[in-house]
């Protein structure tokens, strides 16, 4: 994430140091050889994963494995006893970040028999950030807000309407029951200002954690996270409504405003693991890395292969744990060279680019392809002149994929609420299939702007089941046009409807197989009537 805007912060203790005192600190990533000496077992995951996290695994059929086991406490204690400050831990990458007072201490890390790699991430002067007052603000006094717009959404109307998300909201799908983890630089005002009153008073601001300085106070420093969160969680009917106003949220600070170093990637990894352990469903990040303060640590275009950056690797692991991961593509579309930021190159990250208010791709929106030839971004959302709230509760207009990403994350929460049995892969495949560029995917905008109204079928179709309906299945599902589907019986009558309830095709099946012959990609409903009269309506996603 590009720096240059820094904010005030209270002094927080971290391993006996405060970041207000002056001094040089060497910060390392330390890889560990194994998880020997761990008190935890794969067969007892309740000791390190919450009931909600275990339920998510159960619903998606995901087994607990060695990646879920915490880092060896005996190794960590040995480092602490040797005078090192252990900051964050990563079970997925099996390592820790440590602080040392000098380079000699850092070189001694190689002497531990359980250490397999040591990477210098940062050499920093420990100091307190200063006040951030750099955002241009569009001022609206509270008594003027009601004149901004007549709709429920007020200033937030365009960004949800562009995605066709209002039908989901109208039918009650506003993110209830979903937990969204937000990784950013800071959330000043979220604990006090009016747009987040509903979030706080209803108890849906579940937790916060600072992976940069330590502790739980994330309501200081830089207000970028406040802008981001407001696009999802702000709720002032008639003034502004976000895309997931009734979801629950966990706030994580992972970005350090004082520097741009690889350490911030490891901060994010630790945060993602924390969110996984809590049972969060979605992780959205408006962060990204390519150039670092030390040029030798910066990435190259060849590194954007989906398997190099720590944050990219961890994003794919988070996805394998059953979480939906969204990340901003970046704002380097006009840079030379043009490039994505990691982890936007990850195969299993839903990478979000930005559009202008008229719908075209914003010129600043970063894009691929990745080094291994994959299309990125995946989808687009409004990223130009986006309405959001500042730390003081004033309405602002901001540009960037940083805003497009949470707008999309909120809508994905509503969609997942509607279809709780879908996996993250099905969700990602679905929004790609419903993109306005799905038939002409390109490297600038990927699959384009999804229409969530298309993925949300009419109640008439979905509820039109016979009283003796049975649970029937099609395989494979999702499928492609031209695919052969196996039905649950050799003989059946099949009727296919589109998402608006219009009949597409009627087929009489005698061999237990049918060919997908839909006119386009998208969501369809297949009514299967067996010889005995039992019937069921099955959702079919055609990609």
Classify residue 109: in a domain, yes or no: yes
Average pLDDT estimate for 67-96: 97
Cα of 262 vs its chain's centroid, Å: 20
Average pLDDT estimate for 166-192: 95
Q: What is the pLDDT of residue 132?
A: 58
pTM: 0.81
Report H helices in 234-362.
263-278, 310-320
Q: Of 372, 367, 365, which Cα lies nearest the Cα of 339?
A: 367
Average pLDDT estimate for 344-373: 96
Domain stops at, among 125, 160, 189: 125
CA distance 72 to 95: 9
- 437 and 475 housed in the same domain: no
Q: Are 462 and 450 in contact (CB under 8 A)?
A: no
Q: Are 331 and 384 in contact (CB under 8 A)?
A: no
Domain stops at, among 107, 125, 143: 125
Instruction: Report phi then psi at 355, rounded to 5.
Output: -115, 160
Classify residue 389: in a domain, yes or no: yes
Classify residue 175: in a domain, yes or no: yes
CA distance 479 to 430: 11
CA distance 43 to 54: 12
As given in the structure block, the two tokens for residue 25 are 């600190």
Classify residue 119: in a domain, yes or no: yes
- 225 and 172 housed in the same domain: yes
- 279 and 216 housed in the same domain: yes
Position 340 confidence tier, pLDDT thresholds 50, 70, 90: very high
* Crossing angle for the helix pair 310-320 and 263-278, to the nearest 10 degrees: 10
Average pLDDT estimate for 113-119: 98
Q: What is the pLDDT of residue 22?
A: 52
Q: Are 500 and 458 in contact (CB under 8 A)?
A: yes
Q: Are 455 and 208 in contact (CB under 8 A)?
A: no
Classify residue 141: in a domain, yes or no: no
Q: What is the pLDDT of residue 130?
A: 56
CA distance 303 to 204: 38
- 406 and 499 housed in the same domain: no
Q: Report pLDDT digits (tens) over 378-411.
A: 999 999 999 999 999 999 899 999 999 999 999 9
CA distance 449 to 380: 5
Write a three-state SS string for 177-205: CCEEEEEECCCCCCCCCHHHHHHHHCCCE
Q: What is the pLDDT of residue 518?
A: 86
Indicate the SS3 state at residue 490: coil
Q: Per the structure, how many domains does the chain have?
A: 3
pLDDT at 149 over 70: no
Classify residue 256: in a domain, yes or no: yes
- 181 and 270 housed in the same domain: yes
As given in the structure block, the two tokens for residue 212 are 């940069």
Indicate the SS3 state at residue 354: strand
Classify residue 158: in a domain, yes or no: yes
- 316 and 251 housed in the same domain: yes
pLDDT at 88 over 50: yes
CA distance 265 to 530: 54
Question: What is the percent of the chain with per-residue pLDDT over 70, rounded to a whole number?
Answer: 87
Q: Of 535, 513, 539, 515, which Cα lies nearest the Cα of 526?
A: 539
Distances (CA, A) of 400 to 95, 108, 178, 238, 353: 33, 43, 25, 25, 9
Average pLDDT estimate for 219-245: 95
Q: Which domain holds residue 361?
A: 152-455
Beta-strand pair 179-184/248-253: parallel
CA distance 274 to 90: 9
Q: What is the pLDDT of residue 473?
A: 67
Position 140 confidence tier, pLDDT thresholds 50, 70, 90: very low
- 434 and 490 housed in the same domain: no
DSSP 464: -
CA distance 452 to 471: 26
Q: Report pLDDT digits (tens) over 193-221.
A: 999 999 999 999 999 999 999 999 999 98
Average pLDDT, the chain: 86
Q: Are 176 and 247 in contact (CB under 8 A)?
A: yes
Q: Report pLDDT digits (tens) over 473-525.
A: 677 788 888 888 888 778 888 888 876 566 788 888 878 888 888 888 777 87
As given in the structure block, the two tokens for residue 276 are 């996984």
- 437 and 472 housed in the same domain: no
Please report, for the domain that includes residue 244, its CATH number. 3.40.50.200
Domain stops at, among 455, 478, 512: 455
Distances (CA, A) of 128 to 19, 22, 376, 510: 6, 9, 37, 74
Position 466 confidence tier, pLDDT thresholds 50, 70, 90: very low
Position 75 confidence tier, pLDDT thresholds 50, 70, 90: very high
**CB atoms < 10 A from the CB of 419, how many?**
16
- 221 and 336 housed in the same domain: yes
* Crossing angle for the helix pair 51-60 and 263-278, to the nearest 10 degrees: 90
CA distance 394 to 398: 12
- 199 and 282 housed in the same domain: yes
Dihedral through CA 207, CA 211, CA 216, CA 217, nearest 10? -110
- 211 and 265 housed in the same domain: yes
Please report, for the domain that includes residue 474, its CATH number. 2.60.40.3080
pLDDT at 107 over 70: yes
Residue 147, C-beta contacts closer than 8 angstroms, at least 6 positions apart: none
Average pLDDT estimate for 291-319: 96
Least confident of 51-65, 142-156, 380-394, 526-540: 142-156
Q: What is the pLDDT of residue 524?
A: 80
Q: What is the pLDDT of residue 366?
A: 97
- 398 and 534 housed in the same domain: no
Residue 396, C-beta contacts closer than 8 angstroms, at least 6 positions apart: 135, 136, 137, 138, 227, 387, 388, 389, 390
How long, in residues, is the chain?
Answer: 543
Planar angle of CA 500, 504, 507, nearest 5 degrees = 140
Classify residue 33: in a domain, yes or no: yes
């Amino acid at each position: 994430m590009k720096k240059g805007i820094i904010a005030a912060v209270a002094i927080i203790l971290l391993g006996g140091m405060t970041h207000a005192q002056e001094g040089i600190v060497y910060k390392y990533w330390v890889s560990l050889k194994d998880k020997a000496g761990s008190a935890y077992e794969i067969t007892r995951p309740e000791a390190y994963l919450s009931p909600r996290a275990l339920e998510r695994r159960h619903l998606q059929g995901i087994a607990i494995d060695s990646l879920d086991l915490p880092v060896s406490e005996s190794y960590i204690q040995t480092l602490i006893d040797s005078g090192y400050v252990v900051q964050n831990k990563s079970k997925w990458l099996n390592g820790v970040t440590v602080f040392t007072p000098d380079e000699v201490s850092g070189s001694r890390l190689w002497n531990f028999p359980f250490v397999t790699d040591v990477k210098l991430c940062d050499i920093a002067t420990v100091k307190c950030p200063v006040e951030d007052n750099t955002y241009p603000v569009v001022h609206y006094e509270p008594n003027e807000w009601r004149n901004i717009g007549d709709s429920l959404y007020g200033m937030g109307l365009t960004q949800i309407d562009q995605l066709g998300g209002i039908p989901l909201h109208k039918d009650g799908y506003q993110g209830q029951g979903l937990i969204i983890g937000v990784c950013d630089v800071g959330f000043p005002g979220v604990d006090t200002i009016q747009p987040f009153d509903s979030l706080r008073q209803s108890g849906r601001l579940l937790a916060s954690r600072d992976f940069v300085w330590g502790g739980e106070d994330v309501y200081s420093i830089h207000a970028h996270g406040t802008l981001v969160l407001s696009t999802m969680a702000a709720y002032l009917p008639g003034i502004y409504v976000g895309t997931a106003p009734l979801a629950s949220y966990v706030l994580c600070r992972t970005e350090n405003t004082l520097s741009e170093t690889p350490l911030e990637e490891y901060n994010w990894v630790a945060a993602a693991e924390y969110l996984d352990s809590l049972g969060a469903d979605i992780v959205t990040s408006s962060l990204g890395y390519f150039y670092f303060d030390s040029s030798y640590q910066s990435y190259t275009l060849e590194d954007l292969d989906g398997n190099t950056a720590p944050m990219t690797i961890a994003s794919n692991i988070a996805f394998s744990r059953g979480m939906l991961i969204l990340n901003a593509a970046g704002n380097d579309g006009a840079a030379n060279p043009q490039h994505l930021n990691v982890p936007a190159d990850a195969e299993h990250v839903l990478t979000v680019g930005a559009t202008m208010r008229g719908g075209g791709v914003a010129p600043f929106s970063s894009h691929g392809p990745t080094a291994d030839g994959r299309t990125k971004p995946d989808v687009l959302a409004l990223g130009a002149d986006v309405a959001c709230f500042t730390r003081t509760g004033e309405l602002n207009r901001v540009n960037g994929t940083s805003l497009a990403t949470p707008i999309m994350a909120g809508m994905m929460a509503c969609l997942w609420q509607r279809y709780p049995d879908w996996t993250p892969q099905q969700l990602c495949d679905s929004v790609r299939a419903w993109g306005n560029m799905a038939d002409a995917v390109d490297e600038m905008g990927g699959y384009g702007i999804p229409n969530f109204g298309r993925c949300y079928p009419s109640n008439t179709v979905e509820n039109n089941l016979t009283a003796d309906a049975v649970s029937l299945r099609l395989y494979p599902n999702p499928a492609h046009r031209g695919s052969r589907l196996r039905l649950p019986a050799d003989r059946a009558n099949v009727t296919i409807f589109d998402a608006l309830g219009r009949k597409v095709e009627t087929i009489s099946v005698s061999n237990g197989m049918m060919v997908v012959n839909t006119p386009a990609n998208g969501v369809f409903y297949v009514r299967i009537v067996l010889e005995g009269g039992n019937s069921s309506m099955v959702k079919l996603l055609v990609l």
